[in-house]
Amino acid sequence: MPETHRHFIGGQWRPASDGSTFDVLNPFDGKVYAHAAAGTKADAAEAVTAAEEAFPAWAALAPREKQKMFLRAADIIDRRHDELAAILAEETGSSIYFAQFQQNVVTSVLRQAANWVFDTKGEVLQGEHPGTFSMGVRKPLGVVAAFTPWNGANVLVWRSVAQTIAAGNTIVVKPSEEAPISAGLVVAQVAEEAGFPPGVINVVTHAPGAAGPIADEFFERPEVRCLYFIGSVRTGRMLAERAGRTLKRSVMELGGYNPLVILADTDLDYAVRVATYSAFFHQGQICMCARKVLVERPLYEQFVQQLAERAKALPQGDPRDAATVIGPLINDHAVTVMQDRIDDAVAKGAKIVTGGRHHGRIFEPTILVDVPDDAIASYEETFGPLLVIQPVDSADEAVEVVNRSLYGLTASVLSADTYRGFEIANRLKSGMVHVNGPTVADEITAPIGGVRDSGWGRHGTHAREDLTDLVWIEVRNDEVDLPV
């Protein structure tokens, strides 16, 4: 029998206020994997209240006590490694490799966060007046509301939670309805066992299409000081507009149209391997996946041919099978969007080099060439295994094409000349650029995030600037000479 999961509010497991639940489906076979509480505005209100009540004590708790909890949480995830990976495969269609990869990243995040609790630093300021001591002090914001996505569910929810509470805030997590367990409730389970105080971490789930009332509560409550969102540009734009109207801080990691630039001096075999990983990892359902490859002409024909051969050979099927590389797209809508993008491009003159078909929710890795600029696949992110390849006559042309995009999440440049690769990387308008590496990359100490329409704010150690207030405190030893 599928397990029924409840909200986690104020340290207690609670059903939805009206008792309703919704089905959580396995994206590969469509079967009901679990049931989850179908949250309401009232549930969100209770979660915000619990977080607000927990905030003063959590903010004041000694760093060494917080550190113990983070380290215990990491140990729990190590112990549950295979179990949590299996949940990801069942709920989100992650391959076993990607699911296990996520657990390894999460434990690294938590062990880093155990040190972040000591690292919310201010600075001593040089004052203008004798007899004064001036400083900038970082203070936690209060309650943060996090919207966490289904893709890379464990990594992205834990990164949001760990850096938020390490800075002294409390949090309410609203996971995607596609992954309420992996993108939310798993965190609550681990937090409870690790001993985090009630109310520090709260999770409210909701049925498909029912996020609105919960989001309304976050925007209406003054206690919520920051909205943390990882997801699509369209939804991020809507949330940012609402945050602006209520003067709430927002941190947005949004999608992108990520380029991979391959210069003619690049080793061909390595370029093919990097492109395969960048484009087709997790079926292209990662915000960092490459969407367009720009190849200098001397390498273009060979590159297209060899990449197509490698893409065809990627094992497809049940993500629970350790041999599977290409699993299912998350739902039928994703399949429809992928097919529509291919059909639109072909109707406008593009050619399919390989792929273009799907079997249920398994979509073959698809490569398009000769894609005109007005085809949607040429400029908008498609969350699936779809890659556009375009020849360029020079590195300068590649830079011009990349910077024409409105997005700027991540990019890669491949070249045998590392310095030349760096020089080109420095010209790209992107929040992250990798020289001689794939577009999909994650480092705990790196400033993860985009520029332009791909959002603002950063994950990792740099997140403290978004998740704290910098307060000026001035101490005077003498009376101030006032004019009146």
Q: How many CB atoms lie within 10 A of CB 449?
A: 25
Report d(CA 405, CA 258) in Å as an integer: 9
Q: Which amino acid is at 65?
A: E
Q: Which of 77, 82, 112, 76 is nearest to 97 (CA)?
A: 82
Is 128 designated active site? no
CB 421 within 8 A of CB 413: yes
DSSP line for 115-127: HHTT----EEE--
Percentage helix, strand, coil for the chain under 3-state DSSP, each rounded to 5: 40, 25, 35
Task: Report the amino acid identity of residue 170.
Answer: T
Q: Give yes or no for a contact between 36 and 21, defined as CB atoms under 8 angstroms apart.
A: yes
Distance CA 32, CA 395 (A): 50
CA-wise closest residue to 59 among 148, 149, 160, 171: 171
- Distance from the Cα of residue 203 to its chain's centroid: 18
d(CA 63, CA 59): 9
Query: Residue 296 burial (CB < 10 Å; 0-12/13-18/19+)?
Result: buried
Catalytic residue among 287, 289, 296, 381: 287
Count the residues in the chain. 484
* Crossing angle for the helix pair 81-92 and 153-166, to the nearest 10 degrees: 120
| Catalytic residue from among 46, 52, 178, 253 | 253
397 a catalytic residue: no
Angle 51-57-63 from CA coordinates, rounded to 5° = 110
The partner residues of 469 in beta bridges, in order of sequence, read 139
Q: CB–CB of 178/331 below 8 Å?
A: yes
DSSP SS3 for 141: coil
The answer to whether the beta carbons of residues 303 and 260 sit under 8 Å apart is: no
Cα–chain center distance at 387: 21
Helix (H, G, I), strand (E, B) or coil at 63: helix
* Catalytic residue annotation: 253, 287
